[in-house]
A and B are shown apart, each in its own frame.
Chain A
Amino acid sequence: MIRRYKFILISLVGYLLLALFSPERLGASAELLVGFFTEMLQVLPPVFVLTAMISVWVPNEVITKHFGSSSSWKGIVLSFAVGSLSAGPIYAAFPAAAILLAKGARVQNVVIIISSWAVIKLPMLITEAAFLGTRFAVVRYLLTVPMICIIAYAMERSVKLPIEAKEDQAIARILSDLPGKNCRACGYSSCHSFAQAVVQQEKAITDCRLL
């Protein structure tokens, strides 16, 4: 529980120190913060809803077919499309990409989605061209696309996540969010088996009685 809030605590302490030693800078900081929060609100809620709907509605086989190990260049093109058509900063890509990985997408395509989500955006290209010149922006984009492919290929070679490992990881993540009292109120014999049920989507984490 505390782990989840540690960054908030750290930043609160930071702001307290700022208020004590340099209160005139609080205004600038608040302005930045408002900008970040607006960006977050514009993107995160619908991305969460869409991701959760993918996880409930789209069968694993479909993901495996289009993004899995047998998806060749089509999977690559599709991943670029998903990433560049999505909106928002890179941290919004993580939950969506993680769901695809858990549902059988290959590492290479997940990396393409994350990278192109962060970098390849039409509105951003237009803004960049407006400020830095069309030539600069276009050349940078043309170089970035093949680089992303190379990064993705390298990641595919160096990160091998067997299905079990992925599931263990997901279970561990859910376990860390549970109270860990093994109270059995949810109907499972332990928090671990409840977490397993959440990973297999038989239960939602909110079904935990103590949470």
Chain B
Amino acid sequence: MVQTLILYGAAALLLLLSFRKDRKKTVMSLKGAKTMGISTVPEIVGLLGIVSLVLTILPPEAIRSALGNESSTLSTLIGAAIGTVTIIPAFIAFPLSKQLIASGAHLMAVAAFITTLTMVGFATMPLEISHFGRRFTILRNLYSFIAAILIALLMGVIL
């Protein structure tokens, strides 16, 4: 909530300053922002629609049973994979992770799940490709996936 206020406040303040200094440039900025909106919002809305649908069909309980596996290495891989293919908002992800640990999931698996959840995104790949190209997107997601597993394994050693 505070973040939203700061963000909107900063945008409004800078717009005002910009308008006082140079009207033409300000109008150009707003046009640019509008273009960005027109070209990305339909894709984002569509993707969020698909993600909500998938999360409805594949409820948190399914994720919980997948992460409670006997082998911790396997669970870590599964955790990383589930985090990759889903986008779950933080307000669901953290309580869910707590439940996961309480019901016997491995710490490492949960760490891998949270890390890939935020850094790696299958669902957002089309968006990333349209901004940075295919090679950049695939490599960044691949490296981040490997890094998430390393982070999880190190956490298993430390904690």
Contacts and interface: CB of A to CB of B under 8 A. Distances in A.
Interface in A22-73: 25, 28-29, 32-33, 35-37, 39-40, 42-53, 55-57
A95 B40 contact: yes
Given A49-B30, A151-B147, A204-B32, A89 B87 contact: yes
A18 B46 contact: no
Contacts of B55: 29, 32
A52 B8 CA distance: 14
Nearest to B2: A123
Contact of B115 (A46, A56, A144, A206): A144
Interface residues of B, number: 79
A74 interface: no
Contact of A44 (B41, B90, B143): B41
Nearest to A135: B159
A6 B34 CA distance: 20
Given A11-B46, A136-B107, A87 B155 contact: no
Contact of B30 (A15, A52, A132, A151): A52
A52 B94 CA distance: 33
A187 interface: no
B11 A46 contact: yes
A189 B94 CA distance: 55
B4 interface: yes
Given A35-B89, A89-B87, A140-B114, A158 B139 contact: yes
Interface in A98-116: 98, 101, 107, 111, 114-115
B2 to A, nearest CB: 8
Interface in B117-154: 118-119, 121, 124, 126-128, 130-133, 135-136, 139-140, 143-144, 147, 150-151, 154
A56 B25 contact: yes
Contact of B143 (A32, A90, A154): A154
A205 interface: yes
Contacts of A123: 3
A78 interface: no
A81 interface: no
A173 B144 CA distance: 26
B138 to A, nearest CB: 10
Given A7-B49, A10-B50, A44-B41, A57 B29 contact: yes
A151 B87 contact: no
Given A7-B43, A94-B128, A139-B158, A53 B18 contact: yes
A4 B7 contact: no
The 8 closest A-B pairs by CB, nearest first: A7-B46, A11-B49, A52-B32, A46-B11, A8-B46, A52-B33, A204-B31, A29-B56
Interface of B: 3-4, 6-8, 10-11, 14-15, 18, 25, 28-53, 55-57, 87, 89-92, 94-95, 97-98, 101, 107, 110-111, 114-115, 118-119, 121, 124, 126-128, 130-133, 135-136, 139-140, 143-144, 147, 150-151, 154-155, 158-159
21 contacts: A5-B46, A7-B47, A8-B46, A8-B49, A18-B56, A18-B57, A32-B56, A35-B89, A42-B3, A48-B36, A53-B18, A56-B32, A57-B29, A94-B40, A97-B131, A115-B144, A118-B118, A128-B94, A139-B159, A140-B115, A150-B147
Given A97-B131, A204-B31, 7 more contacts: A7-B50, A8-B49, A48-B36, A52-B32, A143-B154, A155-B140, A161-B133
